[in-house]
Amino acid sequence: MYGYSGKILHVDLTNRKTHVERKPEEWYKIYIGGVSMASRLCWENIEVGCDPLSPGNPICIANGMFAGTPVPVGGKYGIASKSPLTGFIGDSLSSSWFSVALKRAGWDAIVVHGASNDWVYVFIDDDRVEFRDASHLVGRSAYETEEAIREELNDDQVRSAVIGPAGEKLVRMASVTNDSRQAGRTGHGAVWGSKKLKAISVRGTHGVRVADPEMLLKLCYDITQTAQGPYTQKYRILGTMANVLNLNRLGILPTRNYQQGVFEYAELISGEYLHEHYHVKTIACAQCPIACEQMSRVKDGPYAGAMTGIDYEPLYAVASNCGVGDLRAGIKTVDICDRGGMDAMSTGVTISWAMETFERGIFKKEDFKCSKYPDGFEPYFGNADAVVTLAEMIRDREGIGDLLAEGSKRASARVDAEKGTETWKWAMHIKGLECPGYDARGLKTFALGLAVGTRGACHNRTAAYDPDIQGEVDRFSVDETRGRLAKDTEEYAAVYDTLPLCKFIRRCFTGKADRAGAWPSIAKLINATTGWDFDYDAVDLIGERAHTIKKAFNIREGWTRADDHLPWRWMHEPMKEGASAGHVVTEEELEYMKDLYYEAKGWTKDGLIPKEKLIALGMDDVAEEIGV
Amino acid sequence: MPTSTSKYRYVANDPTKCVGCQFCEYICSYTKTGEFNTYRSRIRTVRAEEILITSITCRTCEDAPCVIACPRDALSQDPVTGIIHVDASRCDGCAWCVEACDFGAISINPETKLAEICDQCEDLEDGPQCVKWCPKEALSLTTPDQRAQRARRKLAVEEVIGPR
């Protein structure tokens, strides 16, 4: 096989043993890599029904066929476990050298089982595996940990995926970090922390071979050149931060815990403002010719010195969504999250829930006592230092941070149980995962895409905002096309997440990002890498299979139709102002769209998957277990 | 700061343009070995700080210290191009050249036990493949003096017209 080694490494932390699993080539052709292969490995290796923070929940890391080759933006890996936030599949992606090192070490995937009694890190040195003491790394930030391991192993090409202090403390929104990039969402860091696994470090010294290198180089050279042109301009110049002003104009920039879709200080937190005042350097992930990460530094004020890469999604969550119109505080908060090893999106949206709960008089000043403010503080919307401080308190589980570290779903449930309140009505999550930076009341196809998302409220797993924002459909109403659109856009995204390729390259094949524009070129890349014979249909099937295995996982863990929901606010409180004013997604609209969606997927009205559907996808064993 | 004070061309990196994608290393290792492997690349990217990224390869020093250091006279310098050539029949991988190089631009191949140094792809018509592939045009085949000329011109423009 080219593109793969055919070997999967199983690491048992409980018994400190390893073994190698080999899968047939047919299995690789179905599950491919990235989130699909990682989710499939999770399906195979989990103790069904286990607590996500128990030893029965495996960590499954799957590489892609393109890692370590010159295929642009192909240096990515997928990671899957049962999510501590949702209790369903938690599948994330991260980029860069960790995946490349893993490829060169000769592993297609890693499955980590059990749990260690003492803090440990696993060093994969080509085909040798070592369990190393990590007690001296405990408490150190994600970036420091990566660097300390490189020093300790005396090789600057060792690459590590690590957790920061948040993961150690089982903060449910903790992330896994490698090469300063994050597998950010669904709480993988807490799963690692529950196993006392501080890091997986890899040295891979073998060269990577592909089936047809001359063809692959020719294809890649052209894509690399195209990626310097207009199709990626947004990402190269402003990065994803270009979204701030666009979404504000559409009236869907989440503001003050999604109470508004228009932020009066949007200019001050825009990509344009960031670029002019705080941008210091643009950097790239592994084998990426685009380079979108806008490294930004605070030069003055109380947060001077804070520096990290700023993207739209983390930023909206801690800025407009908390009423903060100062990028210096925004950069500082994201910096705390990145170094502490936690998802800035879920962190910001949980903080905004706490702020609204305070403004409504349910939380009091004295609830916010901490070492920095011994008498407490008042986290009203717009209090920048409250956001910074709460991020630190969540990371450290200090004071009320201990409650917020559970995420908005659990925190609101606990408060409501204690006080008899209804704070859950403004807890902005789906299935326990906090919402992304688009207010779905003004994007109805997207509302469906989010509601049915297998990992909860995620803008990366569904691209259903596209037909809404591009004007292909009326974004304020629903009609019979929405089920098909939600299916098509989520399976489209799943192709990229499975190969995996970064979606920012999607227009660089032919100028058109749709299936007809991209799939034939992607098929050529697959074939030149692996020697397989993939065509348009085979590429398209990658996405449906990836989505199906995740859905099957959720069904086996107890998913029912009622889990495909939206936050109460989006269904009951109309937008107050801006271009989306007056809109909600009604119960009737949502249930209607869910019917359409399940039908488009070929599922039952209850959202379950017929046996014959699974068998047609080559998933006979899955059909046995959950098919109806 | 070591300087090469060289009249010869070498593959220089403009760190204001380099984004650290490492395509140069992929292409170099493929050109030289038929495999993609940054360990076998003769150009190395360096990420010294989060926002300080550049790459290093042979600087074609005049009176090259690596040539002088080699105890077996395996290294020689082309008097026209300044490129360092390794005589495989003499090199025994002792790594004295590695130590002598102020730039960390030489490595020993763990399999062949031979010193490996950038040769600017002198046998290829379209020249250094890393320069050809660099997506950000950060790499160029140039001399220290040419770089200085460019720097002076850039400074002059900035002083008169302002930064671009």
Judged by a CB distance cut-off of 8 A, whether residue A217 touches chain B is yes
CA-CA-CA-CA torsion sign (B84, B87, B90, B92): positive
Q: Report the pLDDT value the prediction gives residue B1, as an integer from 0 to 100.
A: 43
- Answer yes or no: is pLDDT of B3 > 70: no
Q: Report the pLDDT value the prediction gives residue B157, as an integer from 0 to 100.
A: 85
**Bridge partners for A82 per DSSP:** A89
Q: Find chain B residues with C-beta within 8 A of A217's C-beta.
A: 30
Q: Report the pLDDT value the prediction gives residue A28, as an integer from 0 to 100.
A: 98
| A 133-152 → B contacts, CB under 8 A | 143
Which domains are delineated in chain A? 7-203 (3.60.9.10), 232-430 (1.10.569.10), 438-626 (1.10.599.10)
Q: Find chain B residues with C-beta within 8 A of A206's C-beta.
A: 35, 37
Question: In terms of CA atoms, which chain B residue is nearest residue A229?
Answer: B135
d(CA B164, CA B158): 7
The partner residue sitting opposite B50, judged by closest CB among A157, A209, A307, is: A307
How far apart, in Å, are the Cα atoms of B90 and each of A162, A357, A543, B97? 45, 76, 55, 13
d(CA A132, CA A119): 9
CA nearest neighbour of A455 among A403, A497, A502, A398: A497
Question: In terms of CA atoms, which chain B residue is nearest residue A294?
Answer: B51
Q: What percent of chain B is modeled with pLDDT above 90?
A: 75
One-letter amino acid at A310 equals: I
Judged by a CB distance cut-off of 8 A, whether residue B32 touches chain A is no
Which domains are delineated in chain B? 10-161 (3.30.70.20)
Look-up of token digits 């009205």: A605
- B31: tokens are 């050109």
Q: Report the pLDDT value the prediction gives residue B111, as an integer from 0 to 100.
A: 85
In this prediction, the residues of chain A whose per-residue pLDDT falls under 70 are: none
Query: To probe the interface with B, which of A180, A287, A297, A339 has the most B CB atoms within 10 Å?
Result: A287
Mode of pairing for the β-strands spanning A89-95 and A307-310: unpaired
Return the DSSP state at B43: S
The partner residue sitting opposite A209, judged by closest CB among B20, B35, B133, is: B35
| Phi-psi label, residue B159: left if phi above 0, alpha if psi -120 to 50, beta otherwise | alpha
d(CA A626, CA B105): 58
Q: Report the pLDDT value the prediction gives residue B144, as an integer from 0 to 100.
A: 83
Judged by a CB distance cut-off of 8 A, whether residue B38 touches chain A is yes
Residue B5's pLDDT band (boundaries 50, 70, 90)?
A: low
- Answer yes or no: is pLDDT of B76 > 70: yes
Look-up of token digits 């997604």: A585
ipTM (interface predicted TM): 0.90
CA-CA-CA-CA torsion sign (A513, A515, A521, A523): positive
d(CA A439, CA A155): 46
Query: Residue A297 phi/psi, 5° resolution?
Result: -130, 140
Contact B36 A205 (CB under 8 A): no
- Answer yes or no: is pLDDT of B6 > 80: no
Q: Find chain A residues with C-beta within 8 A of B19's C-beta.
A: 282-284, 288, 291
Report pLDDT digits (tens) over A229-267: 999 998 998 889 999 999 999 999 999 999 999 999 999
Look-up of token digits 């801006």: A578
Contact A205 B39 (CB under 8 A): yes
The partner residue sitting opposite A224, judged by closest CB among B34, B36, B135, is: B135
Judged by a CB distance cut-off of 8 A, whether residue A447 touches chain B is no
Report pLDDT digits (tens) over B26-66: 999 999 999 999 999 999 999 888 888 999 999 999 999 99
CA nearest neighbour of A350 among A309, A400, A416: A400
Judged by a CB distance cut-off of 8 A, whether residue A100 touches chain B is yes
Look-up of token digits 């001077």: A304
Number of Cβ within 10 Å of residue A591's Cβ equals 13
Question: In terms of CA atoms, which chain B residue is nearest residue A211?
Answer: B35
Give A439's contacts (C-beta < 8 A, 6+ positions apart). A251, A252, A253, A254, A258, A261, A570, A575, A580
DSSP codes, A49-90: T--TTSTTS-EEEE--TTTTSS-TT--EEEEEEE-TTTSSEE
Q: Find chain A residues with C-beta within 8 A of B36's C-beta.
A: 68-70, 207-210
Look-up of token digits 């909600």: A584
B118/chain A closest Cα distance in angstroms: 18
d(CA B132, CA B122): 13
Judged by a CB distance cut-off of 8 A, whether residue A180 touches chain B is yes
B83/chain A closest Cα distance in angstroms: 26
Contact B23 A287 (CB under 8 A): yes
- Answer yes or no: is pLDDT of B163 > 70: no
The partner residue sitting opposite A70, judged by closest CB among B26, B33, B110, is: B26
The answer to whether residues A595 and A604 touch, using CB atoms and an 8 Å cutoff, is no
Mean pLDDT of all residues belonging to chain B: 91
d(CA A514, CA A466): 11
CA angle A585, A589, A592 (to 5 degrees): 150
DSSP-H helix ranges across A501-610: 515-530, 536-556, 568-572, 587-601
Distance of CA A309 to the CA centre of its chain: 16
Q: Report the pLDDT value the prediction gives residue B154, as an integer from 0 to 100.
A: 84
> Which own/partner pairs from A509-516 qualify as long-range (CB within 8 Å, at least 24 positions apart)?
A509/A223, A509/A226, A511/A231, A515/A540
CA-CA-CA-CA torsion sign (B5, B9, B15, B20): negative
Look-up of token digits 């670029």: A275
One-letter amino acid at A424 equals: W
Residue B4's pLDDT band (boundaries 50, 70, 90)?
A: low
Q: Report the pLDDT value the prediction gives residue B113, as an integer from 0 to 100.
A: 92
Between B161 and A321, the higher pLDDT residue: A321
